[in-house]
Amino acid sequence: MATPNYPTWRKTSRSNGQGGECIEIGSAPGWVGIRDTKNRDGGTLVVDRAVFGAFLAAVKRH
């Protein structure tokens, strides 16, 4: 599977802005990409948008 092109990356709102452990989320039609801000070229975790939505819902419940 080819990695989707993500036009815009957003950093988590929980980021402290001081170079800590941060992730960025990129959105493409049908897909969500997750990458580490300290190593943006280190790879992207690509998941189906519905799966990512279910993950977020589960996190919010706990």
In the block, tokens 């092109």 appear at 5
Tell me the CA distances in angstroms from 5 to 28, 29, 31, 46, one per residue in order.
7, 9, 10, 11
Phi-psi region of 43 (alpha: psi -120 to 50; beta: other; left: phi over 0): left
In a domain, residue 57? The reply is yes
In a domain, residue 4? The reply is no
In a domain, residue 16? The reply is yes
> What tokens appear for 34 in the block?
């997750």
In a domain, residue 48? The reply is yes
Question: Can you give the pTM of this predicted structure?
Answer: 0.75
In a domain, residue 1? The reply is no
Domain extent for 45: 9-61
In a domain, residue 2? The reply is no
Give the pLDDT of residue 57.
96
- pLDDT tens per residue, range 2-58: 656 777 889 877 766 666 678 899 988 899 999 988 888 898 999 999 999 999 999
How many domains does the chain contain in total? 1
Cβ–Cβ contacts within 10 Å for residue 31, how many?
A: 19
In a domain, residue 24? The reply is yes
